Amino acid sequence: MASSLLRTSTSALRAATRSAKPVGAAGLAGTSFVRGKATLPDLSYDYGALEPHISGKIMELHHKNHHQTYVNGLNAAVEQIQEAQAKGDMAKAASFAPLLNFHGGGHINHSLFWENLAPSGKGGGGGPEGELAKEIDETFGGFEPLRKKMNAALAGIQGSGWAWLVQDGEKGGLSVITKANQDPVTGSLKPLLGIDAWEHAYYLQYQNRKAEYFDAVWNVVNWETVGKRMS
């Protein structure tokens, strides 16, 4: 994960975003939000570099507008928690947990997503290699069954959310999961590859043909980055 992903404490943020439900005051009492502000990460490619699979206009709006909104919301939530903690009002601090989960999760998810992508033929597309390919073969029967499973998971999301290829950091092994809204991947699961199923990720180009977007995005998956995330 890039060092610019979170300039707040990543461990503290993940601890406070384990659930969209408000955590108890005691749960936030030992959590300190005292570091610098989160910032919008730079992309390693131009907005138009993923065309024709994802349009430059979508990438620009998605990155500069939508992701920036999550960054702003995260910083505001952390500031409100700090103020409540300073006053000793742990109940009020806990009340901001849903905002922390939503905006913090949005920042984490999108930062991972940008790193998941690369221009087709320049790091993007193709298929997994090495140990990652071996694990995918053993778990899903190959890349194509994995692709179909993730596309089916994406299509099954009601409303907004994400589909993730994850690795269990304790038990090992890969699986495909979905997360509603901007809920981050937490606990023992390590996110390897995430695909954004929010309308803002595709609607300007694909409109209601989201299945076409789910197919197209595989042409720009950066498998080298995905592989490096695996333990």
Q: Which residues are annotated as a binding site?
A: 62, 110, 196, 200
Binding-site residue set for Mn(2+): 62, 110, 196, 200
Helix or strand run (H / E) with residue 16: helix 10-16
The CATH architecture one would assign to domain 130-229 is: 3-Layer(bab) Sandwich (3.55)
* Predicted pLDDT of residue 43: 97
Using the predicted structure, report yes or no on whether residue 9 has a pLDDT greater than 60.
no
Domain boundaries, the chain: 10-46+54-116, 130-229
Q: pLDDT of 135-144, one tens digit each? A: 999 999 999 9
Other beta carbons within 10 Å of 132? 23
* Average pLDDT, integer, range 74-99: 96
- What's the pTM? 0.85
- CATH code, 10-46+54-116: 1.10.287.990
In DSSP terms, 222 is beta-bridged to 124
88: left (phi over 0), alpha (psi -120 to 50) or beta: left
Average pLDDT in the chain: 88
SS3 42: coil
The reported pLDDT for the residue numbered 231 is 80
pLDDT for position 35: 56
DSSP state at residue 124: B
